[in-house]
Structure 1
Amino acid sequence: MRKLVIGNTNLEAPEIGLGCMRITGLKDKKEVRSLIDTAMDCGVNFFDHADIYDSGHAEEVFGEVVEPAMRQKMIIQSKCGIIPGKAYDFSKEHIVESVEKSLKRLKTDYLDLLLLHRPDTLMEPEEVAEAFEELEKSGKVRYFGVSNENSMQMELLNKYCGNRIKVNQLQFSIAHCDIIDSGLNVNVHEEAGINRDGSVLEYCRLKDITIQAWSPFQYGMFEGVFLGNEKFPKLNQLIDELAEKYQVTNNAIAVAWILRHPARIQTIVGTTNQQRLTDICKASEVKLSREEWYALYMAAGKVLP
């Protein structure tokens, strides 16, 4: 598994991480542990959580099956800031309290990364800065980031937070890539040229902020996956051809497309199937050519200007 450096930190991580949102759907804790062991065997020691995943139960189950000695070999990330169905809350009190609860559920003394989970328009960046300062000084969080934020939202936070934003987790796949579309359609009067996120891809590259891709197989917010989907016949045909060429599975090609980008995007996959995870990890061994990358992009229905 190839590695990348998170932001401008000294934290080296695998370019594929395991999202833990669905681990409570497994049959029992033994299966959860087996999935974690498979990930570690594949070089995936990066585990992505959030306090809202199954109302915190995902963190709890994870903490129950990971021994202290094993924890030292892991990079654990969690997210906070969403109160489901009610509000977003980036207040100092909520951030600190959320971290305390996540640490307790995960049975660990610290998080390697804490992300703020979707923007809070009532955010007071001074409060966020105070929370980050307290959590960092206490050793409870090593590094910080955000999820689903645009360039100016990160700029505002970094003004007060001492440039502590090291990660931005964004939905990104071959079939859901607005952050690519707008950059390719500059000065073109087309839907694809609409800049919806403040050139977040280029901003993150300029500021050494690592982009993490979530839902790498989805084509809409939660509309479904594009792999094997009759809505994407040309894309699936090309993916299958490349999978045969590189002797990997179709999901590995989908992830290899993300990993090919020079922004060094880390991909977070949420599978709970051990064989599928093993197959996906082979994406790290594939480097698509420039022609193959653009061919996949256009097979997804995109048109180059």
Structure 2
Amino acid sequence: MRIMPLEKRGISNSRVVYGCMGIGGEWNSTPYTKEDIIIAEKAVEAALSIGITMFDHADIYRKGKSESIFGEILKKRPDLRDQIILQSKCGIRPSDGVLPTRFDFSKSHIISSVDGILQRLGVEHLDILLLHRPDPLMEPEEISEAFNQLRSAGKVRHFGVSNMSSAQIRFIQNSLPEPLVVNQLEMSLARLDWLDQGISVNQKAGLDTNFADGIMEHCQMQDIQIQAWGPLANGKFSGSSLDDAPETVRQTTALVQQLADKYETKPESIVLGWLMKHPARIQPVIGTSSAERIVACKDAVRVAESLTREEWYTLYTSSRGQEMP
């Protein structure tokens, strides 16, 4: 399998990322509990046990509690910090009941956000900081000033984006002295527009496909690591109830299980392996808090290397519910 962009840059060789959105208790201001800490510890241990050494956060996850609870784990295991890559995101300002949810890439907000992230995690620096969602009011020169200040202060080593098109990436990159290293997008066997966009060129069906044109190619050409959030599709093909599921999901779930039996693994590894077989060297960000489901992902790399072209297309065709154009 080809080397990932982050590995090329000497940043990380973790083929899968553990996304920490699921740990930290409820999505409110209620403090997390001892039970929440136990769940988080088991999840992190499960991730480490299958070779995951990269952990993804965002300042808004569980209202900051995801980072805080991870900080508790690092306090108990101070040696762990040097063994992992820490990534977090900023730029979303949730509604406070008076002001609406908005995006903020101002210099002051980026810098203050990072200070809060570092405090909650209890660390001196982030390996990677991502801008969470495109801010219509963003000014690349101001973003560059924030990044330069954070890098000079030793608070962030690398920068990237999330949910952005190739045009937006180029717009920001034009003012930056260092390359953006990550773009995080929703991608899975259930979310296929990133593939449909490409095969629908010169097809009427392409008019209904809403995915940033050229983003896959741009990231590959610029060695920007594509990270997939939601890669397990909330368990749609690996354990979720099929009671009200459409025929395409039932059929695809059956195919996933057949391949899991063939490759002597779990459905989760098939779903991730299918995604990782793409030549963009996609890096899935798994977000389950279940230690059992995390361990079920352990064979994803092996599956990605073993799936045949025919098996890959069979899964793709089944999930999209129609033949290739």
Q: Is the 8 A contact 1:13 1:75 kept in 2?
A: no
CA deviations on 1:269-291 (whole Å, 9 max, x unpaired) are 01111121111121122131111
The aligned residue for residue 297 of structure 1 is: 316
Of the candidates 157, 161, 166, which is equivalent to residue 151 of structure 1?
166
Q: Is the 8 A contact 1:185 1:304 kept in 2?
A: no
Of the candidates 143, 152, 155, which is equivalent to residue 128 of structure 1?
143
Q: Is the 8 A contact 1:298 1:304 kept in 2?
A: yes
TM-score, length basis structure 1? 0.93
The aligned residue for residue 202 of structure 1 is: 217
Q: How many residues align?
A: 300
Q: Is the 8 A contact 1:214 1:267 kept in 2?
A: yes
CA deviations on 1:221-272 (whole Å, 9 max, x unpaired) are xxx8344442211111111110110011111110011111111000000111
Q: Distance in 1 between matches of 2:269 and 2:185?
A: 19
Q: Distance in 2 between matches of 1:152 and 1:145?
A: 14
Secondary structure of the equivalent of 1:97?
A: helix
Q: Is the 8 A contact 1:183 1:193 kept in 2?
A: no
Shift in alpha-carbon separation, 1:187–1:7, aligned structure 2, 3 A:
farther
Does residue 72 (structure 1) correspond to residue 82 (structure 2)? The answer is yes
Does residue 15 (structure 1) correspond to residue 15 (structure 2)? The answer is yes
Q: Is the 8 A contact 2:237 2:267 kept in 1?
A: no
Does residue 238 (structure 1) correspond to residue 255 (structure 2)? The answer is yes
Q: Is the 8 A contact 1:119 1:148 kept in 2?
A: yes
Q: Distance in 1 between matches of 2:87 and 2:13?
A: 11
Of the candidates 273, 280, 301, which is equivalent to residue 256 of structure 1?
273
Q: Is the 8 A contact 1:3 1:14 kept in 2?
A: no
Does residue 265 (structure 1) correspond to residue 265 (structure 2)? The answer is no
Shift in alpha-carbon separation, 1:142–1:159, aligned structure 2, 3 A:
same
Q: Distance in 1 between matches of 2:258 and 2:82?
A: 40
Shift in alpha-carbon separation, 1:75–1:152, aligned structure 2, 3 A:
same
Q: Is the 8 A contact 2:237 2:271 kept in 1?
A: no
Q: Is the 8 A contact 2:24 2:68 kept in 1?
A: no
Identity %: 41
Could you say what the CA RMSD is over the residues aligned between the two structures, in angstroms?
1.9
Shift in alpha-carbon separation, 1:189–1:7, aligned structure 2, 3 A:
farther
TM-score, length basis structure 2? 0.88
Q: Aligned AA for 1:281?
A: K
What is the Cα deviation at residue 8 of structure 1? 5.1
Q: Distance in 1 between matches of 2:207 and 2:70?
A: 40
What is the Cα deviation at residue 196 of structure 1? 3.0
Secondary structure of the equivalent of 1:238?
A: helix
Q: Distance in 2 between matches of 1:7 and 1:96?
A: 27
Unaligned runs of 5+ in 2: 26-32, 96-100
Q: Is the 8 A contact 2:7 2:13 kept in 1?
A: no
Q: Distance in 1 between matches of 2:276 and 2:224?
A: 16
Q: Distance in 2 between matches of 1:267 and 1:128?
A: 27
Q: Aligned AA for 1:77?
A: Q
Q: Larger strand proportion, structure 1 or 2? A: 1
Q: Is the 8 A contact 1:212 1:268 kept in 2?
A: yes
Does residue 188 (structure 1) correspond to residue 203 (structure 2)? The answer is yes
List structure 1 runs of 4+ shifted beyond 4 angstroms.
none
